Amino acid sequence: MARLEQINGFVLAGGKSRRMGQDKGLMYLGNQPMVLRAAGVLKPFAQTVTLLAPPDRYRDLGLPVVADLWPEQGPLAALCTGLASSDAEWNLFLACDLPCVSSRFFELLVERIRSTHSDAVVPRTQEGWQPLAAAYHVHCRPVFEQAVQQRQLSIVELFGALRAEAITASELAEAGVSEGEFFNVNTPQEWAHAAGLWHGRYSEDNGRAASAGERRIITASGVK
């Protein structure tokens, strides 16, 4: 069973953002950059949260930053870097350009890793695997590193070499997690769509709090 002290969190923010035209991680959603929004989602579930990103771009955000051990080799190299730097058995990963992923999803994810015998627990929606909002055991590291060294950079193609457990679309729905949470932002148009989804949920949560007469602080990390 995985305890909090056996779980670390990592935010992937090392991409080039070519299609966006600016650094996605530093784009604001609500009152904070997307990279800090992602870190805030992970914090309740991990003993530490680290940014996997170029230190020169992210060193002033108040979080530890680790540069990719294999620069410009994509998300798989970032996963390798996180696992190599981690002192925990289980590690949660969230890409900063998945701005709608909720705390409820990570509650579900942590519940699963507490009981699983697998090496990875990954959501699988109708669109396919979602490997950048997932949990990976340190046992994944040798398989991932060998693939990076051989320039086989598809994360999903490695699941056959691991004990990968899926959180299915029906299980997500049963837990109250929408598949729309895994909407990925790469272009200004996708950013506008994601911002609309996020602000819609923000307004809905605010409305619930007001109608229930509760005093809550709604932040870019969700309801606290």
The burial class, CB within 10 Å (0-12 / 13-18 / 19+), for 170 is exposed
The pair of three-digit structure tokens given for residue 54, joined into one six-digit string: 């170029």
Higher pLDDT, 175 or 30: 175
Q: How far apart are CA 182 and CA 16, in angstroms?
A: 20
Report the amino acid identity of residue 14: G
Q: What is the mean pLDDT of residues 27-35?
A: 85
Do 97 and 15 contact (CB within 8 A), yes or no? yes
Q: Phi, psi at residue 89, to the nearest 5°?
A: -70, -45
The region, left, alpha or beta by phi > 0 then psi within -120 to 50, assigned to residue 52 is beta
To which CATH superfamily is domain 4-223 assigned?
A: Spore Coat Polysaccharide Biosynthesis Protein SpsA; Chain A (3.90.550.10)
If you count them, how many residues does the chain have?
Answer: 224
Higher pLDDT, 156 or 31: 156
The pLDDT of residue 29: 78
Higher pLDDT, 27 or 223: 27
The pLDDT of residue 15: 64
- Helices of type H across 114-168: 141-149
Q: How far apart are CA 9 and CA 11, in angstroms?
A: 7
Do 119 and 36 contact (CB within 8 A), yes or no? no
Confidence check: pLDDT of 212 > 60: no
